[in-house]
Amino acid sequence: MFYRFCCKLNKKLKSCALAKKTIVFYTCGDRKKQANAAYLIGSYAVMHLQKTPEEAYSLLVSQNGSYLPFRDASFGACMYNLSILDCLRAVHKALQFGWLDFSKFNVEEYEHYERAENGDFNWIIPGKFLAFSGPHPNSKIENGYPLHAPEAYFPYFRKHNVTTIIRLNKKMYDAKRFTDMGFKHHDLFFVDGSTPNDAIITKFLNICENADGAIAVHCKAGLGRTGTLIGCYMMKQFRLTAAEAIAWIRICRPGSIIGPQQNFIDEKQASLWAEGDLYRQKINEQENGSSKTLVAGILSGVEDISINGTNKNISQRKTVSEMHSEEEECGGLTQGDKLRALKSKRQSRASTGSISLEENTIHTKSTPNSLSSDKRKRTRASLGSSRTSSPLHSRLAKSLGSLHVTACEKDQVFSGSVANNNFIKQSNLKHLSPVNSQPHAAQRSLQLYGLGSVSVQRPS
């Protein structure tokens, strides 16, 4: 959605027919839609106008009370609020680390592979982490939800250098089906909807820090447990805050990290930051020649660092893990089942065509051969992140500075995750289908109305 929003806005800004027109960005009085609208225009300001997250957020709330926070996709009471500022900071960090690059993002490919019938997977960190729904013994449709055998993923995984698979749920398929084809496979089971113990976190981080290629992580739905462990890695390796990690993962894969998993990540932030600092120190010493320790052995030097945080459920999780009977996921609907059913239902409503499932294969997105190289160049130039300054962006920034919102209502939490957006830098995706770009027109300024009610005057 964010990608398409930016395309539409940039197209109108470059339109000769609209050169003397005021562009209005607005939404209705629904506070949920106001929050989504604020996220869209705020992220645009961070990405295209070089605003800091704090500057963009300040403009959004300058004359507006506040916006509804985002929450998780669970069916219970809200346990953790995610603010618009958290999302803007996540976008800013993604730009800094190179995860966000519209010039290399293929929106059709993203929308294709996120669908259940085509694999149900998303890149969280391009070239490093892919989150996907758990494979099954055979490709089939069960309770209206398409399931895929391991073999269905082989072509895509090989093409995009996925070398390692980590399974977090019970054993639904034989791992040999991956290992016999040259993939590395690891099992780190913990119960659906729960949080991992320290041993699982340490093993996960060790595997990921020493993997040669990209890592595909899955649980049952590829949302809760998967997002939780990837979030731990992001906090340790990139020093993201818990809120930034949760926000970015949900931007890439909506519905990720559920219920107590949110508070768990928040509790782990400080200890994982400390562990990451020591890890990087060891790496620097090695690169400077003062240490000959292999990277694979670095974790042994930080074993004395506690990552327990303030979590009070460790003993309970340990007992559950020691059982390893995995009976908790048998005989009834789990959180993963409910989330997959909900996702499939929503995708079916959004679908404009029929859905079919072929045995042992994921539908492959075709790329038209008629696209010219010139078209690709123009599209990339017009849809890139445009981090460098320009007259257009200067005027846009001035207009954004005049933005104010008059709607002011009492805060309340609404159900639903961060708007379904993904605009990560897909540097390892080969089939790019650039969106048609428009010819460059006269530079002009942007006037914004919306986010409830915005009133600004066009500069003379």
Enumerate the active-site residues: 219
Q: Where are the beta strands (DSSP E) in 180-291?
A: 184-187, 214-218
Sheet holding 121-125, edge to edge: 121-125, 129-132, 214-218, 162-167, 184-187
Q: Identify which of 228, 224, 310 has the alpha carbon closest to the alpha carbon of residue 267.
A: 310
199 close to 355: Cβ distance less than 8 angstroms = no
Residue 127 CA, chain-centre distance (Å), reads: 14
Phi and psi torsions of 377, nearest 5°: -65, -45
Q: Tell me the DSSP string of 334-392.
A: -HHHHHHHHHHHHHHHH-SS-----TT-PPPPP--TT--HHHHHHHHHHHS---S--HH
Report long-range pairs for 208-212 (Cβ below 8 Å, ≥24 apart).
208/128, 208/129, 208/233, 209/237, 209/279, 209/295, 209/298, 209/299, 210/295, 210/296, 211/163, 211/164, 211/184, 212/163
Rounded to whole angstroms, the Cα distance separating 419 from 73 reads 12
Q: Identify which of 388, 146, 162, 124 has the alpha carbon closest to the alpha carbon of residue 256.
A: 124
Query: Tokens at residue 65, please?
Result: 């009370």
183 close to 163: Cβ distance less than 8 angstroms = yes
> What is the SS3 assignment for 93?
helix
74 close to 417: Cβ distance less than 8 angstroms = no
Phi and psi torsions of 54, nearest 5°: -65, -40
Amino acid (one-letter) located at 335: Q
In sequence order, the 6+-apart residues with CB closer than 8 A to the CB of 322 are: none
| Per-residue DSSP letter, 70 | B
Amino acid (one-letter) located at 165: I
